[in-house]
Amino acid sequence: MTETRVYISGMGVVSCLGTGVLETTDAIRKGLSGLGPLTLFPIACTDPAGQVSGLFQTEAVPRTHQLARLAADQAMAASDDGTVDAIVLGTTTGGMATTEELLEKKKDDPRLFRHHSAASVAEDLARRYRCKGPAITICTACSSGAVAIKLALEMLRAGLAERVLAGGADSLCRLTYYGFKSLQLIDPEGSRPLDKDRRGMSLSEGAAMLLLSSNRPDNAMAELLGAGLSCDAYHPVKPHPNGRGALAAMRAAIRDAGISESDIDYINLHGTGTPDNDLSEAEAIRSLFPDEKPSMSSVKGGFGHSLAAAGAIETVVSAISISNNLIPANVGCTLPDAGLKLNPVMKPTGKPVDCVLSNSFGFGGNNASVVIGGPGKHRSPAPFLEMEPMAVLGYACLTGAGDTKSTVASLLAGRGCKGALPLQEISRNLSSQVVRRLKRLPRLALSLAIAAHGNSGRAVPPSSVFLGTGWGALSETCDFLAGLFETGGRFPSPTDFVGSVHNGPAGQVALHFQSTGFNITTSGGDQSFEQALMAAHLLTRGGDDSSFVMGADESHPILSKCFDESVLTDETLSDGGGAFCLGKGNGEPGLYIRLSFYENVENNPEVISSLTGRLGGPDRIKSAYGAVLTGMPGACRREGEEQLQRFLSLAAFENPVIDYRRLAGEFASSSAVAAVLAAGFMEEGKIPGPLCSGQPLPLDGKGVLVLGLGKFVTAVEVFRR
């Protein structure tokens, strides 16, 4: 493969305006609004919201999962065999609507919370469509759905898949409603994007999924031409006032699509209706189009703001615009704000549309822009770029034993590194001014990034941040919900809400280092770090800048035991993480890391055979790896042990096998610690004696393999060139 086009071969959408492409198209033609009374939970006012009718809080799956299924089933109708190679989904709420009810009732049985995690939505779809490949979860707030589409695009361009199901889904829940309410970002009159009297957004729920294919189908609906991402690195909530990040994302998307600004016929604005967001986006639009501007509108006055689903829904709206030559109206706007110096389309308008730029900008300055065009009408196909190993420039870890040096010392002394450091120990390399409002997870992330950058010895910090976290900021989430329950929704903490979003810690790292490149948070359960590493592999191909690639999770005395069944299998509550500074190695001698394998175990009986083959077979495995660090989550240890024995038998591997969760403890991103330890062993050239036969084992130039086992099987190689 030398070049790749990516087609939208199937689409599904569900929102407050209807279900399916036909109903949605009809609503757009009529300029309708789906906003109305919120009845899912009691509220003390009459703020309009975009609630989807016809869903039930069943025992089977929560609302977000139901929405995702509805949209995905529509998109998958275009699949000839009902399966896909990978799933990439953006979500922020996961099963939070159900979790809120359970926590308010003081429930603590982890089986009741089995659908809480953000990852559970993509994994539910993976089971539904017998997906044997990765099920990736993106959590970048309001840009999550668009970022998921960008990552799927790069998977197809890299030849990792031929068909990917990508999109976003979010349901309404008390955490997001009362959170945005506490920030005074909800308009009591309903969303009025770009209006002179706009006062905020209208929250909504929904989902959209796209079946993307690198092989042109007979009925291609549109072509995904490109996408661009950026980070403001400006403020945890507010956008950059000059639209710096928004402009960077749009320029990157147009460049990625191989077109020029003049090719854009319509801009689907992010346009939430908040004063700051609309002003920032307007600044960016005027900078990108200083003279004649394309037609533009925001559809959030009709659809509401469905958070992680918004970017995916609006990609579907963009495809509808192209296939129907239809410019949607800027619903909700009565008198455009003259200060914005834009002219939104005020009523649905028939007009030729061949190319659309769609914007999605989120908390933490996570910006995404997507370019959609008519099939085969634009640009030459994108060049094929392989996923090269990334050079290790620096690394660091935090465990119950302390920092990297203390962790290694504990292992050398024959002790493990389980446990959770006191907050002041985590914050030892952080200034009090930086951390005064930060709780445990953002401090972990910042401390790791600072240490990894220091270890790299480089003056210029990485420009991008990739963070994997299985459960996000548990302290802020618990504290926000506790305040919500105790005050009946009157006085929840806006600070805790801002800190509760999964991408908050990565945003703090970007703020500290002024990293304005990619800023991606993945939340894939026990594979969260591997997902972050995959995203870094895919998005930094062809670039020369360095990146932070990290994994971190915090322990929490209440929520950890509710959400993560593996935590219950260990007497010691543990947390921590690992961080790398990675760059382009250009094949030069040095230490490298790469994600070599990632497959789903369900409906995949030959997964270990596939792993063995992907790694080069028994001869190559024995000659390439001096040791294996293996992670088997406590909740699926029996399956993991069976998988490990199968691998050792097929590979005829006889070198040391180190069970790193027995050392580091049970937390989702422990594989990031294992990868850092592997890098340290490689630099020392030996495996510490207490971890193998009692005597240090020379690696003799061989690498170290980090295996993840359980529901998914992953392989990360750390090696020298």
**Quick one: pLDDT at residue 284?**
98
Return d(Cα 139, Cα 308) in angstroms, integer: 8
Model pLDDT, residue 376: 84
Q: Is the pLDDT of residue 186 over 50?
A: yes
Q: Please check the confidence at residue 584 and state whether its pLDDT lies above 60.
A: yes
The arithmetic mean of pLDDT across residues 628-636, rounded, is 98
Q: 544-578: per-residue pLDDT in tens?
A: 899 999 999 999 999 999 999 999 999 999 999 99
pLDDT at 382 (0 to 100)? 64
C-alpha dist (Å) from residue 46 to 15, 55, 163, 188, 641: 20, 21, 43, 7, 54
Q: What pLDDT, on the 0 to 100 scale, is given for residue 379?
A: 65
Among 620, 646, 647, residue whose Cα is nearest residue 703: 620
The answer to whether residue 378 scores a pLDDT higher than 80 is no
Question: What per-residue confidence (pLDDT) applies to 2?
Answer: 56
**pLDDT for the residue numbered 521:** 99
Domains by residue range for the chain, with CATH: 3-377 (3.40.47.10), 390-720 (3.40.47.10)
Please give the pLDDT value at position 383.
Answer: 66
Q: What is the pLDDT of residues 285-336, one digit of tens each?
A: 999 999 999 999 999 999 999 999 999 999 999 999 999 999 999 999 999 9
Count of C-beta atoms within a 10 Å radius of residue 127: 12
- If one compares 80 and 339, the residue with the highest pLDDT of the two is 339
Can you tell me the distance from the alpha carbon of 186 to that of 204, in angstroms, rounded to the nearest whole number?
11
Asked whether residue 1 carries a pLDDT value surpassing 50, the answer given is no
- The residue-averaged pLDDT of 362-370 equals 94
3-state DSSP helix/strand/coil % of the chain, to nearest 5: 40, 20, 40
Weakest-pLDDT range from 78-82, 496-500, 574-578, 643-647 = 78-82
Q: Where are the beta strands (DSSP E) in 70-221?
A: 86-90, 135-138, 163-170, 206-213
pLDDT single digits (tens) 3-45: 789 999 999 999 999 999 999 999 999 999 999 999 999 988 8
pLDDT tens, position by position, 152-178: 999 999 999 999 999 999 999 999 999
Percent of the chain with pLDDT over 70: 98
**Residue whose tokens read 């010895």:** 457
Mean pLDDT along residues 382-387: 69
Average pLDDT over residues 61-66: 96
Does the pLDDT value for residue 514 go beyond 60? yes
pLDDT tens, residue by residue, 224-268:
999 999 999 999 999 999 999 999 999 999 999 999 999 999 999
Burial class (CB in 10 A: 0-12, 13-18, 19+), 432: exposed
Whole-number average pLDDT of the chain: 96
Residue 13 CA to residue 443 CA, distance in Å, equals 38
Q: Which tokens sit at 505?
A: 């810690």
| Cα–Cα dist 654/407, whole Å | 26
pTM above 0.95, yes or no: yes
